[in-house]
Chains A and B, each alone.
Chain A
Amino acid sequence: MSPEATTKTTYRLPIGPIHPALKEPVAFEFEIDGERIVDVRVSLGQVHRSVEWAGMRRNPIQILYLAERICGICSYCHPMAFALAVENIADIEVPERAEYLRVIQAELERICSHILWAGVAAHEIGFDSVLFLTWQMREKVLDLTEYLTGNRITKAITMIGGVRRDITKDMVPKVTEALNYFKDNFEKLRHIFLDDKTFKMRSQGVGILTKEDALQLCACGPTTRASGVKKDVRLDQPYFAYGDLDFDYVTPDILTGEVNGDVYDRIIVRLLEVKQSIELIEQCLDLMPAGDIVSEPKIAKLLATLKKVKGEGIGRMEAPRGEVIHYVKLDENEHPYCWKVRAPTYNNILPWIPMLRGEQIADIPIVAASTDPCMSCTNRVAIVDSGKKYELNREELHKMSVEKTRRLMK
């Protein structure tokens, strides 16, 4: 915040640093004039969990499960990006069937994440009946995940050189049944999210991120696609079996014919991506060839091979929130020499600044939620009003947002 911006009429509103148990701790400082946000300052790096350090004391197989715990929602992308990096170093060929199975798991995770997000977004504007409807659908996604992997959240399906579980012929009917359920319910959700007056009122023209800003601030994932930037690792640098599948960038103009880059557009992009993911899974089930699911089933042998390789590798993939990058360096040792993770929310934090400028305090929850970060950001708010300090907790901020919806409905 520049000193001249601090005039008599504005006051500061610090938000965060948030609860240390959450993955993306961040502190905001808002410059407020009445209800309007004049300026925003974001500071990152509030908590350090030492995941990378812990990883440097474990062997690659153990790291897969550590990487899974970087994020509860992206519990597939992180270990998979790590596996891609290790495969890159050790030149491990992944069997064809495993490539398709990997796509299926990745898209299932995207459906789960986007639907979870849709529920949270509805909750942020005080539309809790939609939250329950979306989470009912998410429950089915979790059931399918449980059926395919054995676990509901931390899937433990990744293996270096493939996946750990196959989808056999007799499992396919149950998967298609679930996919049909998603399709039916998706139409319902789409209708509610895109046509309902309550949503339009709170999301159209709010939290705008222009295409120039999105490009300059390196936003990624649905956040940048909602501003009209065609960026998607799945298409730009196809990995897994994405090269063989038929799909295209999802931008809001597919549906509405124009790109505004507001919260409404971000809702459109995420909802259309759910549909796209369902279609991708169907394509995979059709195209999947028979064969092995992992290149080296003997894990002890795999570990011995990895102990002998030396070099650096990068694994990148499109997580539900955007591009995730893992950098790994192995130096003929049991443990990696270095492991570096860059999660997509990191890129999507700076775009908050142009999005929030000019908006109202009550819009903070929905605008912040629209990039799909960890929602803890609104946890502990202290308003410093001309020397007097009072605190605003998450519930109160949420209440302000709900009240704004009510005001607009009148």
Chain B
Amino acid sequence: MRFSMLPQVFFQMFKKPFTNKFPAKYIPSSTTKFLEDVGAGRVKIIPPVETPIDFRGKIQYDSEKCIGCKLCIKVCPTEAIEYKEKEKKIKIYLARCCFCSQCNDVCPTNCLSMGNEFLLADTDKYSKDLIVE
């Protein structure tokens, strides 16, 4: 066919768009206000596409189980993990983390795991949400 894309283009006009319109159909004029409205229940957020199982999201740390062996610090490629000498526990700065999950694999007591959370953008890299301890 001369222009074989044309049928596809017409077809597409009647199809549901492929894009998931997260978090809202149109960009809100003020993100902070939008988030406030969502918090107050005034508007509904369009949920993001679900993450698959074993997705590598925000790290979960069970400090009870940690024995302070420092193996995770040794393999972490981004040096995102700090050792707390006094408590013999670790502290992970997620702003540095590249979500490779290598610390999870190496940990002998399985106290680290990857969660599902991926919306971690923040203006402050030392914010409470971005530090796991």
Contacts and interface: CB of A to CB of B under 8 A. Distances in A.
Interface of A: 58-59, 61-66, 127, 129-130, 133, 136, 139, 143, 146-147, 150-151, 154, 156, 164-165, 188, 191-192, 195-198, 299-300, 303
Given A146-B52, A151-B99, A197-B2, A62 B75 contact: yes
Nearest to A195: B4
Interface string B9-22: 10010000010000
A58 B105 contact: no
A143 B18 CA distance: 13
Given A127-B5, A129-B9, A136-B18, 10 more contacts: A59-B74, A65-B100, A146-B55, A156-B98, A156-B102, A164-B105, A192-B8, A300-B74, A300-B106, A303-B75
Contact of A129 (B5, B78, B101): B5
Main secondary structure of the interface of A (DSSP, over half): helix
B77 A66 contact: yes
Contacts of B120: none
A136 B18 CA distance: 7
A140 B55 CA distance: 16
A65 B98 contact: yes
Chain B's interface size range is: 20 to 34
Contacts of B4: 191-192, 195-196
Interface string B64-78: 000000010011111
Interface in B44-74: 51-52, 54-56, 71, 74
Contacts of B102: 61, 65, 156, 299
B55 A150 contact: yes
A165 B55 CA distance: 12
Nearest to B57: A150
Given A130-B5, A197-B3, A299-B105, A156 B56 contact: yes
A264 B5 CA distance: 17
